[in-house]
Amino acid sequence: MRILSGIQPSGRIHLGNYFAMMKPAIATQNEAETFLFIADMHALTVLPDPEVLRERVFNVALDFLACGLNPEKSVFFRHSEIHEITELMWILDCVTPLGLLERCHSYKEKVARGIKPNHGLFAYPVLMAADILLYKSTNIPVGKDQKQHVEVARDIAQRFNNRYGDILVLPQEQIRENVAIVPGIDGQKMSKSYGNTIEIFGNEKKIRKKFMSIVTDSQGLDDPKDPEKCPVFALYKLFADQKQLDEMSDKYRNGGYGYGHAKQELFELFMEYFGEFQKKRDELATDRTYIESILKDGAEKARSVAHDTICEVRKAVGLT
Ligand code: ADP
Ligand code: TRP
């Protein structure tokens, strides 16, 4: 088993990213070989300012390390350091039918929202397939929105193997149902592109304000409420144990308990959970050279696996 996942440095890490991807990937680093990377080349599809991109990469590195990624156990690196990825991508491009990419929801959604697509945005699932297949990864922890992209990677691997022999490993998405779609403060899927996120790190006052602005219905303090219809309760589930959940659920149903109370309790559990991580993050942030050295070491390890696969692939397709 080889676990692999990546995240785009397209903004600050939020609760959806953390619970669907970071937490499960970090949790298994002691038992399974784990590759985690900051997908900076993916972030280029929206042409960020170069300085902003560099700073975001640094911030995502801090976030992962503060949340418990152990660079001795996990291979942690920056995507753009591995040049073999773009070489594999081109080879995979040539076995990928256009129709497969045209069917991708995430691309269609972005176009529907008025984004003028560049070729990078269209071809992005092939880059993601290269990320996965280059390391012969087996398990890919992601949120539900990435399910189709892992399926595309599997499809491309199969097409490649059918033509050139059994070289690439077929990956499997790993989606935890309870965190498959974490809601944002507007109740829709939390996403950096929708402006509805709660970041896991940052100024405490600002974060509290975010929790307080979670959209709820207009029922009054005394009314009995249905916890299962409330985004505050959905987020509370991420942190609470069964006893805490049962207690809050009773308070909702009994009435006399307002959404403001629930938001405050949720915020307190959030602070309890991320408070320690925040301290570690503040310490790490003072040593930029150390962070850079971790990413460099990780890239070296990743490159040695990447090199073996690309040699095999080159030979199979006739490029030697
Ligand atoms: P965003 O949509 O905020 O830009 P990314 O595309 O960078 O997030 O996603 C990084 C990882 O986090 C992916 O595995 C993605 O599936 C997961 N993820 C993002 N938002 C959510 C969410 N609201 N619920 C569950 N998983 C999510
Ligand atoms: N496309 C993913 C996202 O936007 C990030 C990503 C890039 C990824 N390459 C990957 C995730 C490979 C899993 C495996 O969230």
289-295 long-range Cβ contacts below 8 angstroms, 24+ apart: 291/58, 291/61, 291/62, 291/65, 294/61, 294/65, 294/71, 294/76, 295/38, 295/61, 295/76, 295/77, 295/78, 295/81
CA distance 288 to 220: 49
CA of 314 from ligand 1 middle (Å) equals 33
What's the topology of domain 2-181+288-317?
Rossmann fold (3.40.50)
Average pLDDT over every residue of 212-230: 95
Residue 192 falls in the annotated catalytic set: yes
**Nearest-ligand number for the alpha carbon of 235:** 1
CA distance 284 to 286: 5
Mutate which of 5, 13, 17 to test ligand 1's pocket (most atoms within 8 Å of Cβ)?
17
Q: Are 207 and 270 a contacting pair, CB within 8 Å? A: yes
Q: What is the pLDDT of residue 193?
A: 83
Residue 110 falls in the annotated catalytic set: yes
Which pLDDT tens digit goes with each residue over 168-196? 999 999 999 999 999 999 999 999 888 99
Backbone angles phi, psi at 23, to 5 degrees: -60, -50
The domain locations on the chain are: 2-181+288-317, 202-282
Judge whether residue 303 has pLDDT over 90: yes
Average pLDDT over every residue of 226-235: 96
- Closest residue by Cα to atom 15, ligand 2, is 7
Q: How far is CA 50 from CA 55, 57, 236, 237, 294, in A?
A: 9, 11, 37, 38, 21
Stated pTM of the model: 0.95
What are the structure tokens assigned to 172, written together?
A: 């499997």
Which pLDDT tens digit goes with each residue over 133-165? 999 999 999 999 999 999 999 999 999 999 999
| Sign of the alpha-carbon torsion through 271, 273, 276, 277 | negative
The one catalytic residue among 23, 73, 144, 189: 189
Q: How confident is the model at residue 102 (pLDDT cuts 50, 70, 90)?
A: very high
DSSP label of 95: T
CA distance 213 to 205: 12
Q: How far is CA 299 from CA 78, 251, 308, in A?
A: 7, 50, 14
Query: pLDDT over 90 for what percent of the chain?
Result: 98
- Closest residue by Cα to atom 12, ligand 1, is 17
Q: Write down the mean pLDDT value for the chain.
A: 97
Residue 251 falls in the annotated catalytic set: no
Which pLDDT tens digit goes with each residue over 103-114? 999 999 999 989
Q: How confident is the model at residue 125 (pLDDT cuts 50, 70, 90)?
A: very high
For ligand 2, is residue 140 a contact (CB within 6 Å)? yes
Average pLDDT over every residue of 301-312: 98
What are the structure tokens assigned to 83, written together?
A: 């040049």
Chain centroid to CA 66: 16
204-212 vs 259-284: helix axis angle to the nearest 10?
150
**Nearest-ligand number for the alpha carbon of 22:** 1
Average pLDDT over every residue of 27-45: 96
CA of 10 from ligand 2 middle (Å) equals 12
Homologous superfamily (CATH) of 202-282 is Tyrosyl-Transfer RNA Synthetase (1.10.240.10)
